[in-house]
Amino acid sequence: MPRAVFKPYSQGQVCLFPRSLDEKIAENAPVRLVSQIVDNLDISEITNSYKGGGSSSYNPRMLLKLILFSYLNNIYSCRKIEKQTLENIHYMWLTGMQEPDHNTINLFRSSRLKDSIHKIFTQIVLMLVDMGYLSLDVLYVDGTKLESRANRYTFVWRKKVEKNKAKLEAKILMILKQVEEGIAQDNQPDDEPPKPINSKELKERIAAMNREQLAKEDAKAVKTLEEKHLPKLQEYEKHLKTLNTRNSYSKTDSTATFMRLKDDHMQNGQLKPAYNLQIGTENQFIIHFDFFSNCADFFTLIPFHNGFKKHYQKMPAKVVADSGYGSEENYEFMQNEDIEAFVKYPMFHAEQKKSFKNNPFIAQNLFYNKEKDYFVCPMGQHMENMGTSTRESESGYKSTVTFYEAKNCNGCTHKSLCHKAKGNRRIEVNHKLNKYRKNARQLLTSEDGLYYRSHRSIEPEAVFGQTKTNKQYNRFRHFGLDMIKMDFGIFATAFNLGKLWNYKEKTKKKVKNHTRKVFIMVFVFTSYEKNRLNKKNTIQGKTRTKQAA
């Protein structure tokens, strides 16, 4: 039996001529792509933020490469990034054998990149446009909820604050009424509701009462106002100021709003402090992102597109989105901006069903006489115009609704199928919205519409799946909206670099496979021709032999 032979092994071996780290990095390694892209970026805004003097600083371009490559590899902790620079040869090559500690990395990320990461992200997107991967003409828009780092149980609710504030104001006014004599409150009727009072006014009135000679009980009541009720009133006012137009916020992260998450850590759809992340994609690249405190997508589309225009100085030619964005306000905005709106509305899929189309009692299926402005019910009765009403949305947009009512529904044999009201049937119609929906329906059911609708599910949805599952980026690690935008900006930039590397590798494989197929075909054809010629020569040789014989 032959004896096994092993290669020499010595941990204390010293190389006289050490090899270069560059030799250990593959030519198609992602780290080389990150380094190449960052070398072509304009980071003057970052370099200008450094002050002169003092000891030398790490090169900001090196730190940017380090952070982007770490996020590309699902490493988001500064301590883990520091560890990689000591152990991973790719990080050693990227940093030039330098070893910045976690404090340096965190300081660069939180202070230097906070105001400039979106510009760096935009530069890389424009590079992708020049490479031919993007056009910025088609924008697939969708949103998701990402959980905040905030404590899940330190919440503040608007209704609760307003309710407690009203009770406190009533209590304060009662005490003021008892203490102050000869002022207007004594002459007010008891049934008159108390007027709101703010902390500034209360503070002034307490100071005025303290200048007077008060009885013992009155002085005690004023002291209660000053030490107990005034701070509480200031606290409620601070809560309302922080809430602004929101319904809730977290005490540990005041910019986070409580939203119902589908994929929270407890898998039961609880309310958690979160942010509404909106992204726009093309070819599964993230080309724009923004965060909103409103959990409804209706009110995010317009500011999202304004942000897109701010960074790219243009609007997309086509927008593809689901029914969460199909509002009158959004359709009007896209029409004014000359955007083709492949955007569904809430009843789009229901309208495609036969049960909807064949139901003559649905308001959308009633015959409308545009010239004389009336609807006709299934029994032939005219539903006349009864007036209009103006409604205002949360964003301040005003829409007009027209009311139509039948003259007499008594005795109608189809009343139970038509409506459930006690009197005559009454419908509300928004003619402007119906016009926008008709245009959207024509676009969505066209050949282009079918194409974009089929691709919408594999555009932003795929990006969200990769973000939350493959990248494990499902909860933020920072407090505050500015820091969250910074962190996701780094993530989105690294995500696009990873996607670019994947596309390049796929292209190389396709070229390699094509070359291999061509080689095989040439080889087979050559072998076939060679065998054919040999066979032909053999036959000819036999023929000559026979002729000679």
Joined together, the tokens standing for residue 265 give 């850590």
End-to-end CA distance of the chain: 62
pLDDT at position 539:
64
pLDDT at position 541:
63
Beta bridge partners of 343: 321
Q: Residues in the chain, how many?
A: 549
Q: Which residues neighbour 300 within 8 Å (Cβ) at sequence distance 6 or greater? A: 143, 276, 278, 290, 292, 294, 325
Answer for the pair 372, 349: CB distance below 8 angstroms, yes or no. Answer: no
Report pLDDT digits (tens) over 192-248.
Answer: 555 678 888 888 888 888 777 777 777 888 888 888 888 888 888 898 998 888 889
Interaxial angle between packed helices 431-444 and 328-336, expressed in degrees from 0 to 180 and rounded to the nearest 10:
70
Q: What are phi and psi of 321, to 5 degrees?
A: -155, 165
Alpha-carbon span 251 to 235, nearest angstrom: 12
pLDDT at position 121:
95
Sequence letter at residue 438: K
Sequence letter at residue 136: L
pLDDT at position 516:
59
Answer for the pair 481, 290: CB distance below 8 angstroms, yes or no. Answer: no
How do the domains of the chain map onto residue ranges? 21-113, 155-250, 354-429
Alpha-carbon span 147 to 265, nearest angstrom: 9
pLDDT at position 512:
57
pLDDT at position 360:
87
Bridge pairing between strands 340-343 and 318-321: parallel
DSSP state of 387: E
pLDDT at position 485:
93
Q: What is the 3-state secondary structure (H, E, C) of 388-429?
A: EEEEECCCCCEEEEEEEEECCCCCCCCHHHHCCCCCCCEEEE
pTM over 0.75: yes
Beta bridge partners of 400: 390
pLDDT at position 183:
39
Joined together, the tokens standing for residue 114 give 């906070």
- Residue 498, burial from CB neighbour count under 10 angstroms (0-12, 13-18, 19+): buried
Alpha-carbon span 25 to 32, nearest angstrom: 8
Q: Collect the ranges in the chain with pLDDT lower than 50.
A: 182-189, 514, 518
Alpha-carbon span 348 to 363, nearest angstrom: 15
pLDDT at position 12:
74
- Residue 96, burial from CB neighbour count under 10 angstroms (0-12, 13-18, 19+): exposed
Answer for the pair 394, 376: CB distance below 8 angstroms, yes or no. Answer: no
